[in-house]
Structure 1
């Protein structure tokens, strides 16, 4: 194309098309790896260093290190999966979507305890405590409140019960988020705290 053939005034669309054609030229394509490729290469380099270091050790030591790393990875995955399933099971907050009175939560707790479902009994008894505190005006009715917030806010309003409320929150957390097995003793603790809140 001769210089005389180049238009002096290019429209916006013509200029964009010319720029796209020019930038498709292989001279502009970089040989640098992408960010994903660089991250992948970095991980591979770290693994090479790990296995090079393991190669200089005796067989038992190398095997022990590799097994320890695998066990650690499995533990981390199981802990994360367990937390996620417990959070889904519990709905994230203290209450589910159904609104019940404190008495109804107590009845549900007793029914669950009689059926041997102590985890559900603990959850329902804690809900009874929270609903009782709301019905008495100690706490405002608020969706999404966590057990720790319940213990903190109610403990500030009722300092004589602060330790009891904190213990109840810990019991709830241990069972529903910590993966601990619910016990009859833990349920009795919640029943005791509920009685003190009602008194």
Structure 2
């Protein structure tokens, strides 16, 4: 028996058990294909980031800057406090961003860096390393943590925030030695 004849007999046998014969079988196949396509289309989508949680009443983000990448004109301690509140609310990506902003603001205030909003986070880390070599590794690692979360869209965790806390403390200590 060749394949073509076997297929024909198989379809004919199926059509014998479906109301409407071959036409009914064709309609059934189309209906099942449509259901499968709808199921694929409407299936729940995986999200890389959890749904944002409204911050507790105590978290009042600074006035929105014209550019989300800009470092607000706030003291480093205020940015670090905002990061702590974001972390307490489970908003680790925002906490990491605010900790990096606090590091940058501290380096600007201590005269280690000039504030340049057009810099990428990598350029910022390189400039800090050139200005104060003892900051090179710390700022590079902080830039990598930030980049994995904000550019590679990896979900931020409490461990990321804890690492940024450690790096921020190191920057604070080493920036004082850079003066």
TM-score normalized with structure 2 length: 0.57
> Are 1:147 and 2:121 matched, yes or no?
yes
SS in 2 for 1:149: helix
Runs of 4+ more than 6 Å apart: 90-93
- Specify which of 150, 163, 169 is matched with residue 137 of structure 2: 163
Q: Which has the larger radius of gyration?
A: 1
CA gap of 1:91–1:148, structure 2 versus 1, over 3 A, is: farther
Per-residue deviation at 1:95? Answer: 2.1
Structure 1 residue runs of 5 or longer lacking an equivalent are 1-81, 83-89
Relative to its length, the structure with more helix (as a share) is: 1
Per-residue deviation at 1:145? Answer: 2.2
> Are 1:114 and 2:111 matched, yes or no?
no
What's the counterpart of residue 133 of structure 1?
107
The alignment covers a number of residue pairs equal to 110
Cα distance in 2 for partners of 1:95, 1:101 equals 14
Per-residue deviation at 1:144? Answer: 2.4
Per-residue deviation at 1:92? Answer: 6.4
What's the counterpart of residue 165 of structure 2?
191
The Cα offsets for residues 58-100 of structure 1, whole Å up to 9 and x where unpaired, read as xxxxxxxxxxxxxxxxxxxxxxxx9xxxxxxx9866425x421
TM-score normalized with structure 1 length: 0.51
What's the counterpart of residue 95 of structure 1?
70
Cα distance in 1 for partners of 2:154, 2:66 equals 18
CA gap of 1:93–1:153, structure 2 versus 1, over 3 A, is: farther
Cα distance in 2 for partners of 1:109, 1:196 equals 17
Structure 2 residue runs of 5 or longer lacking an equivalent are 1-47, 49-64, 174-179
SS in 1 for 2:135: helix
